[in-house]
Amino acid sequence: MVSPVTLPCPGADIAAAARATLPVLATARLMLRAPEVADFELFERLFSLPSAKFMGEAPDSETIWAQFTNYVAGWVLRGDGMFTVCHHGAPVGFVFAGVEPGDQAIELRFFIAPEHQRKGFAFEAAEAALAHLKAIGAAEIVSYVSPANTASQALVTKLGGVQSGELDGALVFSYPLDDDGGPEAYA
pLDDT digits (tens, 9 = 90+) for 100-134: 877 779 999 999 999 999 999 999 999 999 999 99
Q: How far apart are CA 132 and CA 36, in angstroms?
A: 20
Among residues 140, 82, 148, 72, the alpha carbon closest in space to that of 109 is found at 82
Confidence at residue 103, expressed as pLDDT on a 0 to 100 scale: 78
> Domains, the chain, ranges and CATH?
12-186 (3.40.630.30)
> What's the whole-number mean pLDDT along residues 30-42?
95
Contact 138/95 with Cβ under 8 angstroms? no
Residue 55 has pLDDT above 50, yes or no: no
> What's the whole-number mean pLDDT along residues 1-17?
64
Confidence at residue 124, expressed as pLDDT on a 0 to 100 scale: 98
Q: How far apart are CA 109 and CA 6, in angstroms?
A: 28
User: Left, alpha or beta for 137 (phi > 0: left; psi -120 to 50: alpha)?
Assistant: left
Calculate what percentage of the chain has a pLDDT beyond 90.
Answer: 57
Least confident of 52-66, 88-102, 137-151: 52-66
Least confident of 29-38, 76-85, 114-123: 76-85
Element (H, E) at 150: helix 150-158
Confidence at residue 184, expressed as pLDDT on a 0 to 100 scale: 47
Question: How do beta strands 81-87 and 170-174 pair?
Answer: unpaired
Confidence at residue 80, expressed as pLDDT on a 0 to 100 scale: 86
Least confident of 47-61, 66-80, 167-181: 47-61
Among residues 147, 174, 129, the alpha carbon closest in space to that of 25 is found at 129
The whole model's pTM is what?
0.86
3-class state of residue 162 by DSSP = strand
- Residue 40 CB: number of other CB atoms within 10 A? 18
- Residue 142 CB: number of other CB atoms within 10 A? 22
Residue 56 has pLDDT above 80, yes or no: no
Among residues 102, 118, 96, the alpha carbon closest in space to that of 47 is found at 96
- State the Rg of the chain over Cα: 16
Q: Taking the CA of residue 105 as centre, how many other CA atoms within 13 Å lie in the half-sphere pointing to its CB? A: 21
Alpha-helix runs per DSSP H in the chain: 12-19, 40-47, 61-77, 121-135, 150-158
Of 16 and 77, more confident: 77
